[in-house]
Amino acid sequence: MKSSLFSKIIILILITALAVTLGLVGCKTTTTTTTAAETTAAAETTSAATTTTAVETTTTAAAKKLSFGYIMPGPDPWYAYARDGFVYAAKKLGVEVSVLNSDYDQQKEQANVEDLITRKVDGINLFSFLPEGCQLAAQKANKANIPMTIEMSALGPGPGTVVSDIEFDWKKFGEMEAEYIAEHWPNENVLIICGMMGQGPNDLYLSGVKDKLAELGKNKVVGVQPADYNRQKAMDIMQNMLQSGLKFTVVQVGNEDMAMGVIQVLKDAGKLNNPIKVISNNGSPDGLKAIKAGELSATVSTSPSVGSVSAFSALYRFVNGEKVPDKVYAPMFMITKENVDQAVSWVPSDSTLKAVDDMFATLGDYKPIFK
């Protein structure tokens, strides 16, 4: 009896233990399954959050408005039209532009560069008047990791680098004028009234005129007078040369703003085209009027808005990840009364933008940026 009772107790304990064990195993399996499901859901949530963040970041980057700085060298009308071209192009693509003028002062020019660096602009375009100034500015921009293009400004020797140097072929256009002089006025003496000595474009064009005239051997340069791109100085020089007794019948003038003053002095003295002829460069609105009126004999058209839009295009493309040429030469043309209507306008327009897009297309696989 006792043995039978004991056996029943043992069996009951074993059954109870088995039930508890099965219950525990069941609970553990359920917990593991729930945890796995929660982990999967959390992973999906994290992934979704990451994707959303990436989209938001991309949208923010795309929406960032670029800002460029434009430094002009002085108050000459040519520089003002260049500024207008850069700003016109920038507005088309929604780029903000801070314009600063150096007033032919190298210290002010460097202060302008430092100002733009402090503003943390996305790019700088420098129109300088001295190669050494370009080099100093390039070093500062490089240190600040701000890309810089230079416009019509030779880069002096040194460690500073620029994205691209946008130029007219200044020496070539000096040669073009020398060839015109030799062809149309052989055996006549030439007086040159140039811009600012030591400025890259001035020195290059001046060497082009003098060297080509010497090579052709048909004309003699009897004087070179710098007028610093100042109309009044050019007028004073012209007046002094007339009174000096120096023999010349051709005046080559470094830009048309100065040429307008020279023409006025010659008109007042009764000497314009009687026998003194004037040749200049730029193709400005006033210059083209003077060509049509027969007062300016010829000029080389170098539209400042084409040059500055080219500079903007190079800087904009670089900032947006494109490689650009180290040097870009803008187009130029010899203009006389016969083809004056073919001159490229100084006033920026959509046709200027298209001309620059077309020019870049000839330099490589560049798609239009102005649409």
pLDDT (average), residues 147-155: 92
pLDDT (average), residues 267-291: 96
Q: What is residue 59's three-state secondary structure?
A: helix
pTM of the model: 0.70
pLDDT value, residue 64: 73
pLDDT value, residue 9: 36
Q: Which residue has tokens 């016109």?
A: 88
pLDDT (average), residues 339-354: 91
Domains and CATH numbers, the chain: 67-168+305-337+349-361 (3.40.50.2300), 171-301 (3.40.50.2300)
pLDDT, one tens digit per residue, over 175-186 is 999 999 999 999
Q: Evaluate if residue 36 carries a pLDDT over 70.
A: no
pLDDT, one tens digit per residue, over 105-142 is 999 999 999 999 999 999 999 999 788 999 999 999 99
pLDDT, one tens digit per residue, over 96-107 is 999 999 999 999
Q: What band does 343 get if pLDDT is binned at 50, 70 and 90?
A: confident
pLDDT value, residue 315: 98
Give the lowest-confidence range in 6-10, 125-129, 199-203, 215-219: 6-10
Order of strands, edge to edge, in the sheet holding 164-167?
A: 96-101, 67-72, 123-126, 148-151, 164-167, 327-329
pLDDT value, residue 84: 97
Q: Which residues contact 160 (CB under 8 A, 6 or more apart)?
A: 134, 135, 136, 137, 138, 139, 140, 141, 142
Q: Evaluate if residue 217 carries a pLDDT over 90.
A: yes
Q: Measured between alpha carbons, how far is residue 353 from residues 5, 85, 296, 361 in Å?
A: 108, 9, 29, 12
Q: Evaluate if residue 157 carries a pLDDT over 80.
A: yes
Q: Evaluate if residue 57 carries a pLDDT over 80.
A: no
* Separation between Cα atoms, residue 180 and residue 297, nearest integer Å: 10
Q: Evaluate if residue 298 carries a pLDDT over 90.
A: yes
Residue 293 amino acid letter: A
Q: Where are the alpha helices (DSSP H) in the chain?
A: 2-63, 77-92, 106-118, 131-143, 170-184, 200-216, 231-244, 256-268, 285-292, 304-319, 350-361
Q: Evaluate if residue 314 carries a pLDDT over 70.
A: yes
Q: Evaluate if residue 25 carries a pLDDT over 60.
A: no
* Separation between Cα atoms, residue 157 and residue 134, nearest integer Å: 9
pLDDT, one tens digit per residue, over 12-24 is 433 344 343 334 3
